[in-house]
Amino acid sequence: MYKTHTCGELRSAHIGQAVTLAGWVHRQRDHGGVTFIDLRDRYGLVQIVGDPALPGLEVIQDARQEWVLQISGEVRRRPAGAENPNLATGEIEVEVKQCQVLNPSKPLPFLINKDEDIDENVRLKYRYLDLRRERMQKNMVLRHKVIKFMRDYLSEREFIEVETPFLFKTTPEGARDFLVPSRMQPGTFYALPQSPQQLKQLLMVAGVDRYFQIARCMRDEDLRGDRQLEFTQLDLEMSFVERDDVLDLVEGLFTDMVKQILPEKRLLASPWPRLTHAEAVERYGSDKPDMRFGMEVYNLGDIFAGSDFRVFQMALESGGVIKCIVAPGCSEYTRKEVDALTEFAKTQGAKGLATLALSAEGVRGTAQKFIKPEEVEAIQQRTGAKTGDLVLFVADSNSVANKTLSALRLLFRDKLNLADPNLLAFAWVVDFPMFEWSEEEQKWDAAHHPFTMPKMEDLPKFETDPGQILSDAYDMVLNGYETASGSIRIHRSDIQHKVFELLGLKDEEIQSKFGHLIEAFEYGAPPHGGMAPGIDRLVMIFADEPNIREVIAFPKNQAGRDVMAEAPSPASERQLQELHIRVVEPEKSDK
C-alpha cells in the first residue's frame, strides 16, 4: 500500500496514529536542525517534520520541490503558536519515521507553489506541471462537477447519452472542416464534425426521443480568447417539443447546477429574462448582452432630426443612425482619455466618437458646440444622463454604431467595475433572423445553421425578402458571452431543400452532401429541437477565468499548436504514401 491517507485529510482526530503518505514536495525548509516539508497531493497539503540526522532520514534534507516522497510517521499536534488556520490540516503535523524517494525531479521551469504570471507557452509546454498548480486543479475539479451534474440531471429526465462518430461528413456550423484522408479509399476524406448536429437529428428520426452527449466539436477557424480548434458541448436534442420545452429544460438544469455546485454565485433573475434578437440588439447593441449592468444603448435619430451638426446630418441622410451610451461619473475625463476612447471606437469600425460631458460647471466635450441646449435636455430625458456623466455618440451605419457602442459598454464595465463577478446573468435571446447576407461572398448564409426551422408564417418571404425571415433559433447568453445556441429543426424534406437552395446549393450538391438527411426526413421524422451549451465557456465563466484554455487540460495555444507534444507535425513519407497524399509546400513569400 503506497499510502494510508491523503495529504489533505489529516485532522486533530488523527493525532497519535501511524500513517503513510505519498505526494510531492510543495515546499521544503530547514529550521534549527529540523526539516519541514509541505507534502502535497490532489487533496491538500500536510506538514511533515523530521530530523535529518536520524538514520534513514538524510534524504528529507536533500528533497527538492516536486520530488515524490513516501513517508511514514506519526500524526501529532503542532506546538502551540505553530498552527496554521489557513490550512485544513493546520492543527497537526506528521513526524517522519521513514522516508523513501519515489522519484526526484529536475529543477522546475516555473514554481508550482506560487500563483505567478508565467509565459503561457512555457505553461503549455510543461502542461503536466502547470496542471499541478492549485488553480488548475480547482478548474479541473469544477469542470468534472459541471459535466457530472449535466449527466445526472439529464439521465434523471429520460435522456440517454449516445456517442456519434468523429469520422463523418461535413456538418456545417459556419467554420472550415478538418479533413481526414481515407487510406482505404484513396482521394476521399472524412470530415470531423463541427458538431453532432445532423447525427442527433438522425437519432430523433430513430426514435431516441431524448438524447445528449458530452460532445467534442472540431472547427478549423482562427482562434480568439474564447475559442479552440476543438471544444466540448453538452449536445442535446428532444423530439415532440416546442421552443419553450427546450428552454425550460436547460434553464432548470443551470439554475439547479448553480445552486448545487456554485454556492458563491448568484443568479441575476429567475426565471431568466427573455429578449427577442431585435430587442437585444436595440437595447444593448449586441445579441449577447452582459445584463449584469445597465448602460443601455439609445437611439437619438429623432432628437437630432433637425441637427446642425454636419456629422450627425450626414449619418442620418445616408440611412445611418445616431446612438449613444452614458458612462456614469465620467464627465471629468481628460482630453487624453477621450482620445483613447475615440481610438478604441475606430478599432470597432466607427469613423469617430462624439462626446458630451455633463460636468458640474456646464456642458463640455467634442460635440458640445454642435448640440443645442434643448437637444441636451432631450438626451437627458431619454437616457437618464445626469450631471457628472459622459455621453458617447456614434453616428454611423446601424451595425457599426451597435458594434462600437456595445464594445464601449464592455470597456466601461471593466474600467468602472460595473459588473459583479459573482452574479450570473443568464438570459435567453430568441427569434433570430434565419439568414444573414454575406457581403464578402454576395450570398445568404444561415445565421445559426441550415437545419434551423424558419418561422412558419415567414415561409412566403423565401421568395420576396429572405433577410426578414425569422427562425426558431435561440441563444443562451451569460455575462456577455454566447454560451449556447439551439433551435427547433426542420423535419420536413421540402423545407430543408428550400433552405439549402436559398443558401446557394445546387441540387447535386444538396444530394451529395445532405441526401441522407433529406431522405431520413421522408421516413416519419418527428418534430424536434435542441441546443448545445458550450462547456468550456461556461466553466470559464464559473471559474472566473479570462479564457477557455484555463479550463481545458491540454489546450492548443493561440496559434493552434500543442506546444507540449509539438502538434501539428509533419507526417512520414511512408504515411503520406499510404494515404496517397503529396504535400505541396506553400510558396515562401519574399517578405
Binding site for ligand ASP (CB under 6 A): 173, 195, 197, 449, 485-487, 530-532
Q: What is the DSSP letter of 434?
A: S
CA 111 → CA 66, 126, 268, distances in Å?
Answer: 10, 12, 38
Least Å distance, CB 235 to ligand ASP, is 6
d(CA 479, CA 398): 23
Identity of the residue, 50 or 486, whose beta carbon is nearer to ligand ASP in the bound complex: 486
- Chain-centre distance for alpha carbon 372: 44
Least Å distance, CB 123 to ligand ASP, is 29
Least Å distance, CB 469 to ligand ASP, is 17
Identity of the residue, 353 or 539, whose beta carbon is nearer to ligand ASP in the bound complex: 539
Identity of the residue, 23 or 529, whose beta carbon is nearer to ligand ASP in the bound complex: 529
Least Å distance, CB 86 to ligand ASP, is 43
Identity of the residue, 14 or 210, whose beta carbon is nearer to ligand ASP in the bound complex: 210
Least Å distance, CB 289 to ligand ASP, is 19
3-state SS, one letter per residue, for 121-183:
HHHHHCHHHHCCCHHHHHHHHHHHHHHHHHHHHHHCCCCEECCCCCCECCCCCCCECCEEECC
Identity of the residue, 280 or 473, whose beta carbon is nearer to ligand ASP in the bound complex: 473
Least Å distance, CB 156 to ligand ASP, is 21
CA 2 → CA 20, 21, 49, 70, 72, distances in Å?
Answer: 7, 7, 19, 7, 10
Of all helices (H) and strands (E), which one includes residue 324?
A: strand 321-327
Least Å distance, CB 451 to ligand ASP, is 7
CA 453 → CA 64, 246, 314, 562, distances in Å?
Answer: 62, 14, 39, 38
Identity of the residue, 66 or 173, whose beta carbon is nearer to ligand ASP in the bound complex: 173
∠ Cα 332 335 340 (to 5°): 105
Residue 457 backbone phi and psi in degrees, to 5: -70, -15
- Cβ pair 172, 194 in contact under 8 A: yes
Identity of the residue, 386 or 516, whose beta carbon is nearer to ligand ASP in the bound complex: 516
Least Å distance, CB 201 to ligand ASP, is 9
Identity of the residue, 14 or 528, whose beta carbon is nearer to ligand ASP in the bound complex: 528
Q: How many Å from the N-terminal Cα to the C-terminal Cα in the chain?
A: 62
Neighbouring C-beta atoms of residue 567, cutoff 10 Å: 10
Neighbouring C-beta atoms of residue 186, cutoff 10 Å: 11
Least Å distance, CB 494 to ligand ASP, is 21
Least Å distance, CB 218 to ligand ASP, is 11
- Nearest alpha-carbon partner for 63 in 105, 95, 34: 105
Least Å distance, CB 211 to ligand ASP, is 11
Beta bridge partners of 452: 489
Least Å distance, CB 171 to ligand ASP, is 8
556 Cβ contact list (under 8 Å, min separation 6)? 223, 228, 229, 562
- E-assigned strands of 17-91? 18-31, 34-41, 44-50, 68-77
- Cβ pair 539, 147 in contact under 8 A: no
Identity of the residue, 21 or 446, whose beta carbon is nearer to ligand ASP in the bound complex: 446
Identity of the residue, 19 or 238, whose beta carbon is nearer to ligand ASP in the bound complex: 238
Identity of the residue, 59 or 217, whose beta carbon is nearer to ligand ASP in the bound complex: 217
Peptide bond into 421 cis (omega under 30): no
Least Å distance, CB 195 to ligand ASP, is 3
- Cβ pair 85, 127 in contact under 8 A: no
d(CA 417, CA 73): 50
Beta bridge partners of 327: 390
- Chain-centre distance for alpha carbon 544: 11
Identity of the residue, 325 or 535, whose beta carbon is nearer to ligand ASP in the bound complex: 535
Identity of the residue, 177 or 375, whose beta carbon is nearer to ligand ASP in the bound complex: 177
